[in-house]
Amino acid sequence: MASLDDLKKRIVSVKSTQKITKAMKMVAAAKLKRAQENAEKGRPYSEKMNNIILNLSSGISDKENSPKLLSGTGEDKVHLCIVLTSDRGLCGGFNTNIIKKAKVYFENIKKEGKVLKIITVGSKGYDQLKRVFNENIIEKISFKDSKNINYFDAEKVGKIIINSFEKKEFDVCTIFYNKFKNVITQIPQAQQIIPLKASEVEGNSPEDNYEFEPDEDEILSNLLPKNISTQIFKAMLENSASEQGSRMSAMDNATRNAGEMVDKLTIEYNRSRQAAITKELIEIISGAESL
Amino acid sequence: MSEEFKVEIINPEKSFLLKEDVTEIVVPAFEGEMGILKDHISIISFLKPGIIKIFSKSQEENYYVEDGIMEFKNNNLSILTSSIFNIKDMDKNKIEENLKEAEAQSNTSDIDDQKKYLIDQKVEVLKSIH
């Protein structure tokens, strides 16, 4: 059995760990509130954008010649996957969930004999994917230096995607991120952004006949690249809210577990202290009796 | 009958401005400035760099935009833009910096006509508010 001193040391160390997890939980809770607000504020933009694209694409007369970003290249050979993860760890299953979802998808693509290309955003995703899919990762991006999520960063990612699409380097593009449902639940999502999924475009029927200036095609070809950045920005916002939520519940759990451990150790400590006292007493008494 | 309609300006981070009592708005549409009154036909247009003027009964507000898209439908005008500033809040130094950058861009040769047109517009507008 461990000595009294060892037990005492362990109790102290568990307690200090608990303090850290508690602090992290508090920080995550504060950040979560802000991230959640940001995610909610950012929603109207992407919704409106989707609506306008919806109205536009239904107005296009010549489906054959519609922009490639909308209709796709007509092939399905090279898949580009953007995996959005966090830059920091200690956030429960947050990153693992995205990676798990992505890996299933990757395996499928490989099984079908298609070419897979990966761009990771956030260092944790790269760390987890490089072991198995190292030769597929064509780029890794990290926004460790920017404090807040901003549109500028999303635009950078968007430009990379569009540039490589214009060079015909891939046919289908999917992004992976965690959708924020509530603090406890985050749902890993796979969203196809190129070509735009038909189900999303045909969501509700357009009511109006619009006037366009300049013409539909021109607006669409200008708007679609912007939509990609917008979708990525939305994913980043959702992701950051999810990350904080996930971290908060993970740290809450850790704090509770540490508390349980301290209780257990304290009981053990008291027992062994009592045992030592009893032992000493017995020794004294039996010593006195033998006299 | 009232002559007012609703204007909403949204940028990616948040809803930038929401006004319900707008009587007239002038936007820098791609092919020229466009004034919009109530009951305008539904329209979608691109914005070029320029100034959005919003008139309501009591006041007039001016905003500078660099790009964006606007949609007018059922007396709701939405403007989506990633770069919008209230002219009152704009810093002289910042304007000058922007102006120099745009001028430099305009003088490089490897841009197509459409881009050049947009950048020249930007230069002009920045000069006018400078």
Determine which one of A53, A54, A91, A137 is catalytic.
A91
- Which residues from B are below 8 Å from A218, CB to CB? 46
Q: Mark whether B23 and B78 lie in a shared domain.
A: yes
Nearest to A44 among B15, B30, B41 (CB): B15
Which CATH code is given to the segment(s) A35-250? 3.40.1380.10
Q: Mark whether B20 and B82 lie in a shared domain.
A: yes
Predicted structure pTM score: 0.83
pLDDT below 50 — which residues of chain A?
199-204
Q: Do A45 and B73 touch (CB under 8 A)?
A: no
Q: Mark whether B31 and B45 lie in a shared domain.
A: yes
Q: Which of residues 50-109 of B touch A (CB under 8 A)?
A: 69, 71, 73-74, 78, 80, 82
Q: Mark whether B65 and B107 lie in a shared domain.
A: no
- Which residues from A are below 8 Å from B82, CB to CB? 151, 155, 226
- Supply the ipTM of this predicted assembly: 0.75
Q: Mark whether B109 and B66 lie in a shared domain.
A: no
Angle (CA) A174 A141 A187, round 5°: 45
CATH number for the domain spanning B15: value is 2.60.15.10
Average pLDDT in chain B: 83
Q: Mark whether B45 and B101 lie in a shared domain.
A: no
- pLDDT value at residue A199: 47
Q: Mark whether B82 and B95 lie in a shared domain.
A: no
Q: Mark whether B29 and B59 lie in a shared domain.
A: yes
Q: Which of B53, B69, B86 is the last residue of a domain?
A: B86
Domain count, chain B: 2
Q: Mark whether B39 and B77 lie in a shared domain.
A: yes
Smallest CA–CA distance, residue A113 to chain B, in Å, is 38
Q: Mark whether B66 and B16 lie in a shared domain.
A: yes
Q: Mark whether B28 and B13 lie in a shared domain.
A: yes
- pLDDT value at residue A61: 59
- Omega within 30 of 0 (cis) for the link into A188: no
pLDDT, tens digit, 9 for 90 and up, residues A138-156: 888 888 877 777 888 888 8
Which chain A residue lies closest to B9 (C-alpha atoms)? A45
- Which residues constitute the domain of residue B102? 91-129
Nearest to B15 among A41, A49, A55 (CB): A41
A81 carries an active-site annotation: no
SS3 B66: coil
- pLDDT value at residue A98: 92
Domain boundaries, chain A: 35-250
Residue with tokens 């919009």: B36
Q: Mark whether B77 and B33 lie in a shared domain.
A: yes
Q: Which of residues 100-159 of A touch B (CB under 8 A)?
A: 150-151, 154-155
pLDDT band at B48 (very low <50, low <70, confident <90, very high): confident
Q: What is the mean pLDDT of residues B22-44?
A: 88
